[in-house]
Amino acid sequence: MLVEAKDIFSSLRPSLISRDPSNLNTYGRDWTKLHTPNPIGIAFPESTEEVSALLKICNAEKIAVVPSGGRTGLAGGAVAAKGELVLSLSRMTKIQAPNLLSMTLETEAGAITEAIHQACKPFGITWPVDFGSKGSSTVGGNIATNAGGINVIRYGMTRNWVLGLTVVTMAGQILKLNGPLEKNNTGLDLKHLFIGSEGILGVVTEAVLKLTRIEADTELYFFGMDSMAAVFRLFEKARQGPFDLHAYETFSHNCFEATVNGLGLRSPFENKHSHYVLLEAKGSTPKIDDWLEEIFTEGMITEGIQPKSSEERQQFWKVRESIAEFLAEKGLNHSNDISIPIFNLKSFIDEWTESFQQKYPNWEQFIFGHIGDGNLHIHAIKPKTMELEEFASATLKVDEALFSLVRKYGGSISAEHGIGLLKKKHLGYSKTKEELDLLRSFKKTLDPNWLLNPGKIIDPF
């Protein structure tokens, strides 16, 4: 197979494909741990044209291809476990200087998210897609999964900040979609077909990103709360507060404890609290002070602090952004990433918490997330005394119960992480048969041999 593959790709750059065992293991997986990587090789193209040439050959020879970015996904969307060729964009990292007139930036898809932020920062502007894995996630991966993060309540998802795309289809066709145009009302905006498609329709190789000014002088508050009910009461109050709400993040005490211990920090709070909230807002300081006095008087908050320096501010955010990382270190982690209409969120979490405690009294549950946009991350860690197979079987039942409740409240089984391999069998909880059939039709049109990121999201008719 390897010799045949070498002959197949002989017309391409000799160093394009690596079969180094360490590369196969590294690039064949993402942050999920349930599938053993088994790719036939890793392709490292250096241009859109190389991607096109490679995909043309793979399409003709019926070789399955898994696009690969920073591999920070949590749904198995970048796993190559069945002899696929991984297409890594890690060498396509060129970032052009921001255009300050159009407030845009052109970049290759392999560029790291944080590198985009650094390229913009000297000009007082930013690409406002921000989350904990920004130091290793890539622009292409963000676009392929329509990534969210901590600023969605203020700026929206990745989709809102992409003007144009260059996409290569499985047949090797290069599509230039919209470019830097703000307005282009010429029918369907095809770039949106590829944003959030998890690489099953085409490979994003370049993008034109929309930028905005860095908003200075935002205030950050770290609150200790005595219940999840108090978290929701405070959010209702914050929605009506005399400020623009930029972020409203919450996490339970066990999440806080795992992260503070993992980072080697002392708790900034004098007391232990059941829940915590990070609230970031921009507004008139006197009006915010009056609002704070009111919520303290009403007893919604048991303790509140503000960072005394930019370093402490970064430290507070680090506590929130590192939760998933340190929960993963506690043991085998089963995670879910769901969204609920904000007006249903409190009822949902009350019903789910009661149901979970009744069915799994010996399991520890970790809940954190973006209350401001209706997105919760719900984690369970395998009990040490439980065998892996038993845990896997039990989590399937947990998922069915959780997703049934998500459907009841009109939510989505995936808010940020996508579907990939791990949630494919449950997609019917959020999509109708008609929607899934239409998605299969799109897939068949763009990839009739079902070779691009096969097995992810949907299977053939």
Does the structure show a pLDDT above 80 at 371? yes
Could you tell me how far CA 178 lies from the centroid of its own chain?
24
Does the structure show a pLDDT above 80 at 248? yes
**Strand 203-210 vs strand 275-283: parallel, antiparallel, or unpaired?**
unpaired
User: In this structure, are residues 264 and 319 in contact, taking their beta carbons and an 8 Å threshold?
Assistant: no
Parse the chain into domains and list their residue ranges. Answer: 2-88, 104-213, 219-324, 331-420
CATH number 3.30.70.2740 is the correct assignment for the domain at 331-420: yes
| CATH code assigned to 104-213 | 3.30.465.10
Predicted confidence at residue 5, as pLDDT, reads: 52
**Residue-wise DSSP of 423-435:** SGGGGGGTS-HHH
Nearest to 88, CA basis, from 68, 107, 71: 68
Predicted confidence at residue 401, as pLDDT, reads: 95
Predicted confidence at residue 3, as pLDDT, reads: 45
**Residue-wise DSSP of 92-112:** ---BPPPBTTTTEEEEETTSB
Q: Is 383 exposed, middle or buried (0-12, 13-18, 19+ CB in 10 A)?
A: middle
Q: How far apart are CA 85 and CA 69, in angstroms?
A: 14
pLDDT band for 10, please (50, 70, 90 cuts): confident
Q: Which residue pairs, CB below 8 angstroms and at least 24 apart, start in 426-429?
A: 426/399, 426/400, 427/457, 427/458, 429/403, 429/404
Q: What is the pLDDT of residues 105-121, one digit of tens each?
A: 999 999 999 999 999 99
Predicted confidence at residue 2, as pLDDT, reads: 47
**Mean pLDDT, residues 454-461:** 92
What is the CATH architecture of 219-324?
A: 2-Layer Sandwich (3.30)
Structure tokens at 395: 């989590």
Query: Model-level pTM?
Result: 0.90
Does the structure show a pLDDT above 50 at 331? yes
| CATH code assigned to 2-88 | 3.30.43.10
Structure tokens at 456: 């992810």
Average pLDDT of the chain is: 93
The reply to whether 2-88 and 219-324 are identical in fold is: no
Q: What is the pLDDT of residues 19-53, one digit of tens each?
A: 999 889 889 888 777 678 889 999 999 999 999 99
User: In this structure, are residues 1 and 23 in contact, taking their beta carbons and an 8 Å threshold?
Assistant: no
**Mean pLDDT, residues 153-160:** 95
**Mean pLDDT, residues 87-108:** 98
